[in-house]
Structure 1
Amino acid sequence: MIPFNISHNKHLRSTDENTKNFKLLFYALLIGILVGLFAGLFRLSLSYIESFRESLFKNAVTGDIVSWVWPILFAITAISIALFLVRKFAPEASGSGVQEIEGALDGVRPMRWKRVIPIKFIASLFSLGSGLLLGREGPTIQLGANIGKMIKDTFGETSLENNPLISTGAAAGLASAFNAPFAGIIFVIEEMHGHFKFNFYSVASIMIGAGSADFIVRILVESKPTIQMMVFPSPNIYSLWLFIILGLVCSIIGLIYNKVLILSLNFFQFSNKLPILYTGIFVGSIIAIIGIFSPDMIGGGYETITKVLDNSFTLLFLVFLFTVRLLLSFFSYSLGVPGGIFLPMLTLGVILGVLFGISMQQLFPDLISHPGIFAIAGMAGIFSATVRAPLTGLVLAIEMTSNYELILPLIITTVTASVFTMLLGNKPIYTTLLKRTLANTVEQP
């Protein structure tokens, strides 16, 4: 017979554990709602700023040389404000912030949510609104993670709750950036697997957070797929070998992207010692002038993706567009302003995929019904090669385009791209960025 006190103690422990787990799920719901509200407001605000920028650029094209002053002045002001806010108040808000989240989960980076939340939100509106080639997913992921830390601190939870609550916020942030809740869940499980602590309730919490955030954003913004395009049928079974070749191409592009991005960050470190206004004038003038001549060369890339998929460009211009956007994406991220690399990277994947698809269609017209199929595969392939997260790349491409019939070719592309880029010695970009951040922190006096 079990003594009463032993049985009673087990019952109390079980009750305490259940209470703790249900509190975690409640916090996850609260985080998801807050992240959805923040992300929805961020997306709405950014759309107004981008519309204003586009109107300035259109006036510059149709007007005289004096009308060029306004878009150039707008870009200079926006970039200067973003740099000032980040350098003065929250240096950890620069870039995408994903590496900062991974560092916080490992306990090697601070998470100062009282500074980061307002600075990341405001500075990102200026940096993305300026026309730099940056994505909104970086700001929403870091905002989400910091909101998770805010909930933990506000309710006085122990430091053990840091991991699931921060991870829930990160998943909610990615979900709300692209209307892609499943990608948000997979991203935390796959990309942050070395930092995320798995158990049933921690996985349930990121599912609740991602789902509730996506629900709020769909109410505030829109419920359509982020990229509007035709839904393709399954490709010819005998054309699947072409997706292996595309995966190999993506693996090489991913290796180049990661290597050059780090080289670019190291090269542009000298700009941190320059007056902010000098950097703003130099960078803002370049971005604005390029944008006046060709708006497709700047910005995150949604409009560019639409035009590429509509066959608005010649093959030669697509090569030029890919090259210029690749170089400008390095340039934009290396400045130290807030912004993500997902969207510019996905845009490059679409351009590469269409280039590949058009070329293969000319060689094998009977195998390929539409080159746009390879655009979606290119998105997933470049993401997989760069981030080394093939599941996230696959799910993100499908959720952003609603092309669920392409799961098999996307599996082939993402696996090929991620495996071969690993064999080439390519490291996951956020792991490299975190090591670089920690090394720079140690070197500072």
Structure 2
Amino acid sequence: MDDELTYRDLGVSGFRGKNAAHGELACFLEAVRTGQIPEGSFLLIESLDRLSRDNILRAQAILTNLVVSGINVVSLADNRLYSEESLSEDPLGLIYALIVFIRANEESAIKSMRARQAWTRKREAVQSKVLSTNLPDWLTFENGRIVPVPERAELLRRIFSDAERGQPPQLIAEALNMGNVPRWRIDGPWERTTIAALINNRRVTGALPLHEFVYKRNVQHRLPIGVVAGYFPRIIEPETFLRVWSICSNRRRGGSAAKRNVFANLLRCADCGADIRHKPIGEEGKGVLVCAGASIAHRCSAPEYSYAALESAMLARLGPWSAEGILWIRNADPRGCRNSRGAPYRLLGNEALSWHHDRLSSDLAKRFPERSGEAPSLADYLVTSSGRRYLVNDCSTLLTSAETGLTTSRRRADTNAALRRMFNDGIVDLRTGRCTLSCGAAGSVEIS
């Protein structure tokens, strides 16, 4: 007997197959597959339900793979041996094993259902009872009430004040470390990620986001089901939180957010004017757009809206718009504001372009000193080859995305950058999906 090679799945659930996918059982199965555990070895288990409590097909597959690989499985509770030889001689032994697996799975399913029902009752009474004593680091539980820790609440206000003045999380963390401010929960220095997590935590406004765990093919998904306002003591005013949130979002232009959301840092809510954010998993389990104000239960009741639906509508609308724009730019007469066919031009550029095309601004300042610091006009873009190239490139990016789709994260980020150069503002009604992209004084484009 090998008493050195031991596998223990302590506290790992066999109901959703986690032990066979990530636990020590997975290591054992891999050792059997690679031959580290030779054929003819005996696996001693208390009962078959210790091997798996997953659904009948998955549980049977685990037992079958072990037996076919030459492993003798011994159930100590009922003193049964499961091997290729024993099951060939007594096929009813496999039926007995299936009955054990079915019973174990049903027991776990009932326990899981009762646990979900208990949490549902807790959520329904959340306005009058404390849902859990597991609280954010700046709060504590005293005499049946949730109260702030004074010194931590004050530090939280300082962090948000610094962030509102434009300091990035890295500088805030360095300032706290230089001041020897002790970090919460663990003994160590403050880090950028810790500050960023605090700045993005809606609980500082008193809101409690509610979620529900669901399983699809044994994969856990956390679905949002609502936000409870006023559950926690409010440390930061919602207006301040939204301003800081917006500052941090603008600082991340072109970053990871744009790889998932082609509208990153572009859209605002038609109801309250707050930023529109992308949430990877909405109530239906798919990506949605949400109002930042509604996500902290503040002033806005705008619902979630399907991200895929608005992205598809945007591509369908801006594809022809960009194709027409490319033709007009190449044939435009900036002096007469008419194209080569005599038709009045349709404005495409706006002052937002100058924020990203500093080279053109610099060239104009050299040629016309009196215009130093002035934003280039559309005519300025058209009168220079580099300006026309900027506009054509952005229109081409939108046209390519409309024709081929946003198939990669890089394509989505490039399209987002082009949108933010072409349009300086966007308003979306999350109830109807109607969106207006504005080109400053140049007009707007309606998407519905």
Give the structure-1-normalised TM-score. 0.27
> When you count strand as a share of all residues, which structure comes out higher?
2
Work out which of the two has the higher radius of gyration on C-alpha atoms and give 1 or 2.
2
Q: Which has the higher contact order (CA 8 A, sep 6+)?
A: 1
